[in-house]
Structure 1
Amino acid sequence: MKSCLFAAAGLAAAGPACAQTVTVQSLIDARLRYEVVEQTGLPDEAHAATIRLRTGAQAGMGSWSALAEVQGTLALAGSYHDGLHGSASRPLVADPENVALYRAQLQYKTDALMVTAGRQRIALDDERFVGNVAFRQNAQSFDAVRAEWTGLGGLKLDLSYAWSVRTIWGVDGRGARPRSIGGENVFVNLSYATPVGKVTGFAYLVDQKEADVQGYRLSSQTYGFRLSGSRSLSRAARLSYGLSYARQGDYRRNPNSYAADYWLVDLALDVKPFKLNAGYEVLGADEGMTLTSFQIPLGTNFKFQGWADKLLTTPPNGVRDLYVGAGHGWAGAGRIDSVSLQATWHRFESDRLDQHYGDEIDLLASMKIKRTVFSARFARYEADALATDTSKFWLQVDWIF
Structure 2
Amino acid sequence: MTVMMKTVAALAIGGAACAASAGAQEITVTPIAEARIRYETAEQDDIVARAHALTMRVRGGARLARGAISASIIGQGNLAAVDTYYDGLTGAASRPLVADPQNIALYIAQLQYSVRDLTVTAGRQKIALDDERFVGNVAFRNNAQTFDAVRAEIAPAQGLKLDLSYVWSVRTIWGIDGKEGRQQAVGGNSVLANIGCKTPVGTLTGFAYLVDQDEAAVQGYRLSSQTYGARLAGSHVLATSVKLAYQASYARQSDWGRNPGDYRAGYWLADALLDVHGWKIGAGYEVLGAAKGRVAGSPFTSFQTPLGTNFKFQGWADKFLTTPPDGVRDLYVGGGYGAGQMGSFSAVSLQGTWHRFESDRFGQHYGNEIDLLASAKVRGTTIALRYAHYEAETLATDTDKLWVQLDWAI
Please indicate, yes or no, whether the TM-score normalized by the shorter chain is above 0.5.
yes
Equivalent residues of 1:40, 1:389 under 8 A apart: yes
Equivalent residues of 1:12, 1:59 under 8 A apart: no
Counterparts of 2:329 and 2:36 in 1: how far apart (Å)? 33
1:296 aligns with 2:305: yes
Q: Which of 6, 10, 24 does residue 12 from structure 2 map onto?
A: 6
Other-structure match for 1:385 = 394
Question: Shift in Å at residue 5 of structure 1?
Answer: 2.5
Residue identity matched to 1:228: A
Question: Shift in Å at residue 193 of structure 1?
Answer: 0.5
Task: After the TM superposition, list the runs of 4 or more consecutive aligned residues in structure 1 that deviate by more than 4 angstroms.
Answer: 11-15
When structure 1 is superposed on structure 2, of 283-292 and 34-43 the one drifting more is: 283-292
Q: Secondary structure at the match of 1:6?
A: helix
Counterparts of 2:200 and 2:241 in 1: how far apart (Å)? 21
Equivalent residues of 1:80, 1:87 under 8 A apart: no
1:343 aligns with 2:352: yes
Other-structure match for 1:253 = 258
1:361 aligns with 2:367: no
Other-structure match for 2:408 = 399
Q: What is the correspondence of 1:78-97 to structure 2 with a 5 Å cutoff?
A: 78-97=83-102
How big is each residue's C-alpha offset from its partner over 1:315-372, in whole Å with a ceiling of 9 and x where there is no partner? 0000000000101124434432243211000000000111000000000011211221
Q: Which of 40, 46, 52 does residue 45 from structure 2 map onto?
A: 40
Residue identity matched to 2:91: G
Q: How many residues align?
A: 400
Equivalent residues of 2:196, 2:205 under 8 A apart: yes
Equivalent residues of 1:197, 1:229 under 8 A apart: yes
When structure 1 is superposed on structure 2, of 130-139 and 267-276 the one drifting more is: 267-276
Counterparts of 2:314 and 2:53 in 1: how far apart (Å)? 23
Q: Which of 276, 282, 296 does residue 271 from structure 1 map onto?
A: 276
Identity across matched positions, percent = 61
Other-structure match for 1:52 = 57
1:228 aligns with 2:237: no
Residue identity matched to 1:274: W
Q: Which of 175, 178, 182 does residue 177 from structure 1 map onto?
A: 182
How big is each residue's C-alpha offset from its partner over 1:257-314, in whole Å with a ceiling of 9 and x where there is no partner? 0000000001011112201111000000023111110000000000000000000000
Q: Secondary structure at the match of 1:279?
A: strand
Counterparts of 1:240 and 1:338 in 2: how far apart (Å)? 19
How big is each residue's C-alpha offset from its partner over 1:67-114, in whole Å with a ceiling of 9 and x where there is no partner? 111111000113000001233110000000000001111111110100
Question: Shift in Å at residue 65 of structure 1?
Answer: 0.6
Other-structure match for 1:112 = 117
Counterparts of 1:182 and 1:338 in 2: how far apart (Å)? 39
1:141 aligns with 2:141: no
Other-structure match for 2:333 = 324
Equivalent residues of 1:4, 1:104 under 8 A apart: no
Other-structure match for 1:305 = 314
Q: Secondary structure at the match of 2:403?
A: strand
1:53–1:238 CA distance, 2 compared to 1 (3 A): same
How big is each residue's C-alpha offset from its partner over 1:1-25, in whole Å with a ceiling of 9 and x where there is no partner? 121221344356567x322121110
Counterparts of 1:74 and 1:9 in 2: how far apart (Å)? 33
Other-structure match for 2:4 = none
When structure 1 is superposed on structure 2, of 75-84 and 240-249 the one drifting more is: 75-84
Counterparts of 2:53 and 2:94 in 1: how far apart (Å)? 14
1:375 aligns with 2:384: yes
Residue identity matched to 2:375: S
Equivalent residues of 1:261, 1:294 under 8 A apart: yes
Other-structure match for 1:241 = 246
Equivalent residues of 1:80, 1:86 under 8 A apart: no
1:342–1:334 CA distance, 2 compared to 1 (3 A): closer
Equivalent residues of 2:162, 2:194 under 8 A apart: yes
Other-structure match for 1:157 = 162
Equivalent residues of 1:162, 1:185 under 8 A apart: yes
Counterparts of 2:312 and 2:159 in 1: how far apart (Å)? 28
